[in-house]
A and B are shown apart, each in its own frame.
Chain A
Amino acid sequence: MQNALDPHAAIVTEASGGAATLLTTADGQPLARALARSSARARRRAFLLVAPLLLFVVVTFVIPIGQMLHRSMYNAGFADNMPQVSAWFQENPAGTPIDEAAWGALAADLQLAAGNRTIGIVGTRINYDVPGTRSLFTSTGRKARDGFPPPYRDSLIEADAKWDNPTLWRAMRSASSAYTANFYLSSLDRTRDDDGKITTVPERQQVYVMLFKRTLWLSLAITGMTFLLGFPIAHLLATLPMRKSNLLMILVLLPFWTSLLVRTTAWMVLLQQQGVLNDIFVWLGVVGPDGRLQMIYNRTGTIIAMTHILLPFMILPLYSVMRTINPSYVRAARSLGATSWTAFRRVYFPQTLPGLGAGALLVFILAVGYYITPALVGGSTGQLISNMIAMHMTETLNWSMAAALAALLLGGVLVLYWVYDRLVGIDNLKLG
């Protein structure tokens, strides 16, 4: 309908009479077609302008995230390198006793994988599900160069008794299909029991759900802290005269201009047990020399350092909203009989909500995915889920697990975004 107001639209002559009134231009063409033609050029040009960005986003964002999501439920490390035993699993449903054919397939596959030097990949894949099995595969692989003689069951068990383990076979069965939900189950501290039912893993192995909860809780705490600290600063910035507020703005933005590592290191210097702050406390007699506070390498350190680093993301949207609030609103409220607190609570604060929403969302989303600061100052109790993702990426090399954790995190953020949209409305968001 908007296009009807397009100044480029041709002159309209309305064919009068008849139920099916078709609007045409002065020379008798259908109006819709004339309009499409006249605006096509502008549309093409607009598309060409955004094309580089579109390409960039697709190449650097959509494809990698798509790959990550794919990897979180696809791992062909076993299926590709162990074709015969995988085929046996396909043909025989779960619960079928392991027969000699299965053992034969396994023996042949082990020989094949050992020859192709892919036995390590296979072992790593099974190791995700049954810890300690990688060495079983590699050691058996070394003995498999020349093949195993039949009966295969006996020769394999002779090579290593651990092969006769139903858990191992169940793990191989689930790994035989490249597509699996197992990584998601593990991400939620769940696993399949011997009957294939989903159960919780033993308590001492539970780590991810606790980490997700901690990430959520710490991110909320950090968001709350940035709000408490940032709101007065943003208000000051918005109300001070230009020259002073510019100076203050530089102070707010200063952290942005410093390397993240430098800032984090500075916090270490300040907060550690032999650090500046503790020295001052001891000197003032607030704490004894033996009672130095542990303020870093734990949750406190993570909260302090991340609050500092994320503070500008709260201040800037708040500031941009507050600057547009005319001081006459508060004056009007005061003249109408409201105390300064009531005027703030009922008139000023509600008008800052779009900025507050934007700031809180920004800080929260950034905090949920923050990695480097908790890694450096978090100790063991200040680690977040992203540190676990990093560990799977760089240490255990279980990328599928990392991808599943990241996908859950992404899903959580999207859900949060949706909830925010329902509660506040995304159109109310004001980023600047």
Chain B
Amino acid sequence: MTTAFGNDGFVVFDHVQKSYDGQTLVVKDLNLSIGKGEFLTMLGPSGSGKTTCLMMLAGFETATHGEIRLDGRNINDVPPHKRGIGMVFQNYALFPHMTVGENLAFPLEVRGMGKAERESRIIRALDMVQMGKFRNRRPAQLSGGQQQRIALARALVFDPQLVLMDEPLGALDKQLREHMQYEIKSLHDSLGITVVYVTHDQGEALTMSDRIAVFNDGRIQQLAPPSVLYEQPENSFVAGFIGENNKLLGTIEKMDGARAVVRLTTGELIDATAVNVSGIGQRTLVSIRPERVEFKPELMPSDAHTIDAQVRDVIYMGDILRARMTVAGSEDFVMKFRNTLGQTRLEPGQRIRIGWHPQDARALDPV
């Protein structure tokens, strides 16, 4: 997927920096190239600089340093209304004093479009989001999900090449949010537009994106497709931010290429893959996904190191079982296993041996 996008540089951030107060950088040296037709998500905790990046792209903030290019053109000095970028806001920002139809007509009117053409576009955009019947309603008469659809239709009605979305689903309940994720994704696929999407919800980012840029502290921590991001996090921030994660602290005992053996602070040895550690003796934080932890010897490699674990409690979650265990002094080590017919039932207090494939445990920089 990475190769399909990113090389034609439809949207380019070139050494972009942003400071509000002249003393601290909110965005520190951002370099990002987004391909035409790509769905790129900026993911990160609040204050990580992701929204600032989106606002700079939309033209509501100016870059303190660096260049932002859209389709090869430097847009640093282009005012927002001349950028031709559609935008969906967190609170929808539907004009409360206009009907749905008037809201959709607004971008077309300011472009001086004729009435007949306006009509056909409004009807097409409303049909696209299945809101054709709501044309004469006011935004206040619509539910959150309906307002969201209208906001989407309004951002798309003037056929922008690039659409920005700033946490557009934040105010919806879980079920509606999942449904809208699917709809936005399918609109993206059918229209072939480029989408830059900002969210702090990692589940949303994983389901929708072609690539995800994980932001923290004003920098992109990792830029990768969802599966790579989840399975091969490059540093402990990404590992901790995306999905659930077990962390074990130790030092590198042995290294053979990427394969490493780590001695934990409590003395046990575990298998791991060296990611951003350089040599023997270095301190490291090993991160293992709960669903990759095994307790049946037949599911582990034959030469795997195993360590002691004591079950503290098991939560029945329907499709899976979630066991919380004490492992190497850590009381919050989590293991998830499928709720299959005949699955071993673990009891609180039970002692087991656990292990994993070396490639599932990633030895990262210690925080």
- Known contacts A335-B80, A337-B107; 6 additional CB pairs below 8 A are A336-B87, A336-B154, A336-B155, A336-B158, A337-B158, A338-B81
Q: Which residues of A contact B83 (CB under 8 A)?
A: 335
Expressed in whole angstroms, the minimum distance between the Cβ of A348 and any Cβ of chain B is: 10
Give the residues in chain A near B89, CB-CB below 8 Å.
Answer: 328, 331-332
Q: Mark B81-93, 1 if CB is under 8 A from A, else 0.
A: 1111111011101
- Expressed in whole angstroms, the Cα–Cα distance for A335 and B95 within the complex equals 13
A351 at the B interface (CB under 8 A): yes
Q: List 26 A-B contacts (CB under 8 A).
A: A326-B91, A326-B93, A328-B89, A328-B90, A328-B93, A331-B60, A331-B80, A331-B89, A332-B87, A332-B89, A332-B93, A334-B60, A334-B80, A335-B58, A335-B81, A335-B83, A335-B86, A335-B87, A336-B106, A336-B107, A337-B82, A337-B110, A337-B158, A338-B81, A339-B79, A342-B110
Q: Please tell me which one of the listed residues B85, B95, B155, B158 contacts residue A347 in the complex, with CB atoms under 8 A apart.
A: B95
In the assembled complex, the CB of B194 is this many whole angstroms from the nearest CB of chain A, namely 15
Instruction: Note all chain B residues with C-beta closer than 8 A to A66.
Output: none
Contact B96 A339 (CB under 8 A): no
A329 at the interface (CB under 8 A from B): yes
Docked pose: A331 CA to B87 CA in angstroms? 9
Q: Separation in Å of the B236 CB from the closest CB of chain A?
A: 35
A329–B89 alpha-carbon span in the complex (Å)? 9
With an 8 A cutoff between CB atoms, is B111 at the interface? yes
| Chain B window 156-197, contacts with chain A (Cβ cutoff 8 Å), 1 for yes, 0 for no | 001000001000000000000000000000000000000000
Minimum CB–CB distance for A408 against chain B, Å: 37
Chain A, residue nearest B86 (CB): A335
A326 to B81, CA, bound (A): 19
Nearest chain A CB to B20 CB, angstrom units: 12
In the bound complex, CA of A351 to CA of B94 (Å): 12
A-contacting residues, B30-48, CB 8 Å: none
Residues of B within 8 A of A351 (CB): 96-97
Is B95 a contact partner of A329 (Cβ separation < 8 A)?
yes
**Nearest CB in chain B to that of A347: its residue:** B95
Q: Give Cα A347 to B81, complex, Å.
A: 14
User: How close is A355's CB to chain B, nearest CB, in angstroms?
Assistant: 13
Chain A residues, Cβ within 8 Å of B96: 351
Q: How far is the CB of A333 from chain B (nearest CB, A)?
A: 7
CA distance A343 to B86 in the complex (A): 16
Distance in Å: Cβ of A341 to nearest Cβ of chain B = 10
Beyond A329-B95, A331-B60, whether A338 also contacts B90 by CB under 8 A is: no
Is A335 a contact partner of B90 (Cβ separation < 8 A)? no
Task: Establish whether residues A329 and B93, one from each chain, have CB atoms under 8 Å apart when the complex forms.
Answer: yes
A residues contacting the other copy or chain, number (CB 8 A): 19
Q: Given the complex of chains A and B, what is the CA–CA distance between A329 and B90 in angstroms? A: 11
- Complex contacts, A162 vs chain B, CB 8 Å: none
The answer to whether A337 touches B84 (Cβ under 8 A) is yes
Whole-angstrom distance from the CB of B183 to the nearest CB of chain A? 20
A145 adjacent to chain B (CB < 8 Å):
no
Please give the number of chain B residues whose Cβ is less than 8 angstroms from any Cβ of chain A in the complex.
27
In the complex, chain A residues 31-73 whose Cβ is within 8 Å of any chain B Cβ: none
| Residue on A nearest B83 in the bound complex, by CB | A335
Q: Which of B85, B89, B90, B110 has the most CB of A within 10 A?
A: B110
Kindly state the separation between the CA atoms of A267 and B82 in the bound complex, as whole angstroms: 48
Which single residue of chain B is at the shortest CB-CB distance from A329? Answer: B93
Q: Which of B85, B91, B97, B111 contacts A335 (CB 8 A)?
A: B85
Query: With A and B bound together, what is the CA distance between A350 and B97 in angstroms?
Result: 7
Assuming the A-B contacts A331-B60, A331-B80, A332-B87, are A337 and B111 also in contact, with contact meaning beta carbons closer than 8 angstroms in the complex? yes
CA distance A336 to B95 in the complex (A): 12
A347 to chain B: which residues have CB within 8 Å?
Answer: 95
| Per-residue contact bits, chain A 340-366, to B (CB 8 Å; 1 contact, 0 not) | 101100110011000000000000000
Contact with A along B184-222 (1 / 0, CB 8 A): 000000000000000000000000000000000000000
A328 to B59, CA, bound (A): 13
Q: How many Å lie between the Cα of A36 and that of B24 in the bound state?
A: 65
B110:A336 contact, CB within 8 angstroms:
yes
Instruction: For A346, give the chain B residue with the smallest CB separation.
Output: B106
Instruction: List chain A residues, Cβ under 8 A from B60.
Output: 331, 334
Contacting B at CB under 8 A, from A215-274, are none
| Chain B residue contacts of A329, Cβ below 8 A | 93, 95
State which residues 371-415 of A face B: CB under 8 Å: none
- Chain A hits for B91, CB < 8 A: 326, 328
Residues of B within 8 A of A328 (CB): 89-91, 93
- B164: chain A residues at CB < 8 Å are 335
Q: Which single residue of chain B is at the shortest CB-CB distance from A331?
A: B60
Nearest-CB residue, chain A, relative to B87: A335
A335 to B166, CA, bound (A): 13
How distant is the Cα of A347 from the Cα of B96 in the complex, in angstroms?
9
Chain A residues near B84: list those with CB within 8 A. 337
Q: Mark B51-84, 1 if CB is under 8 A from A, else 0.
A: 0000000111000000000000000000111111
Residues of chain A within 8 A (CB-CB) of B81 are 334-340, 343
Q: CA separation between A329 and B98, bound complex, in Å?
A: 12
In the bound complex, CA of A328 to CA of B58 (Å): 12
Q: Are A338's CB and B97's CB within 8 A? A: no
User: What are the residues of chain B within 8 A of A331 when measuring CB–CB?
Assistant: 58, 60, 80, 87, 89, 93
Q: From residue A398, how far is it (CB to closest CB) to chain B in Å?
A: 50
In whole angstroms, what is the CA distance A326 to B95 when docked? 10
Q: What chain B residues lie within 8 Å of A332 (beta carbons)?
A: 87, 89, 93, 95
CB distance from A22 to the nearest CB of B (A): 36
**What's the Cα separation between A339 and B87 when bound, in Å?**
16
In the bound complex, CA of A332 to CA of B157 (Å): 14
The minimal Cβ–Cβ distance linking B250 to chain A, given in whole angstroms, is 48
A328 vs B158: C-alpha distance in the bound complex, in angstroms? 19
Q: How far is the CA of A329 from the CA of B110 in the complex (A)?
A: 15
B93 touches A338 (CB 8 A): no
| CB nearest to A332 among chain B residues | B93
Q: Which residues of A contact B86 (CB under 8 A)?
A: 335-336
